[in-house]
């Protein structure tokens, strides 16, 4: 396990963002604390998903606003591969949902076969 240290919060969030984005098209894993209720969350994610089969892809004006909001609020939008989707009959029909990761609350990242502990 490699330890990632930074003197300032801004530098730390920059390193975390670079690590998350380094996953590319592969699946990565991230542990963080949710902003809304302070609970711990573990998530497998994927970037650069062009045509997800079940989770509708964010497009158009909404997506452009989302990108601006992400950079302003220090978060990254990814496809959560853990989310199970069910149809109206209650039968599993797929996986995937768009989620945001708050960069200041990340505690651990696993990407490219390496595990990074964020201090």
Q: Rounded to whole angstroms, how far apart are CA atoms 59 and 43?
A: 23
Parse the chain into domains and list their residue ranges: 2-118
Lowest-pLDDT range of 12-21, 68-77, 103-112 = 68-77
Indicate if the pLDDT at residue 74 is higher than 80.
yes
Indicate if the pLDDT at residue 65 is higher than 80.
no
Give the per-residue pLDDT at 68: 64
pLDDT band at 55 (very low <50, low <70, confident <90, very high): low
Cβ atoms 85, 95 nearer than 8 A: yes
Which pTM was predicted?
A: 0.81
pLDDT band at 44 (very low <50, low <70, confident <90, very high): very high
Give the per-residue pLDDT at 54: 64
pLDDT digits (tens, 9 = 90+) for 2-20: 999 989 999 999 999 999 9
Burial of 86 (0-12, 13-18, 19+ CB in 10 A): exposed
Give the Å distances, CA to CA, from 90 to 81, 87, 94, 96. 19, 5, 12, 16
pLDDT band at 82 (very low <50, low <70, confident <90, very high): confident
Give me the DSSP letters along the chain: -EEE--SSHHHHHHHHHHHHHTTTTSEEEEEEE-TTT--EEEEEEES--S--SSSPPP-HHHHHHHHHHHHHHTEEEEEEEEEEEE-TTS-EEEEEEEEEEEGGGEEEEEETTEEEEE-
Give the per-residue pLDDT at 78: 87
């Amino acid at each position: 396990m490699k330890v990632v240290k930074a003197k300032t919060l801004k530098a730390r969030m920059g390193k975390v963002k670079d690590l998350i984005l380094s996953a590319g098209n592969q699946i990565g894993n991230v542990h963080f604390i949710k902003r809304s209720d302070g609970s711990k969350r573990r998530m497998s994610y994927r970037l650069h998903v062009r045509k997800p089969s079940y989770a509708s892809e964010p497009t158009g004006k909404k997506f452009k606003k989302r990108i601006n909001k992400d950079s302003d609020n220090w978060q990254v939008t990814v496809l959560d591969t853990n989310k199970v989707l069910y149809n109206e009959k209650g039968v599993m029909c797929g996986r995937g949902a768009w989620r945001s990761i708050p960069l200041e609350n990340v505690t651990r990242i696993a990407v490219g076969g390496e595990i990074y502990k964020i201090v």
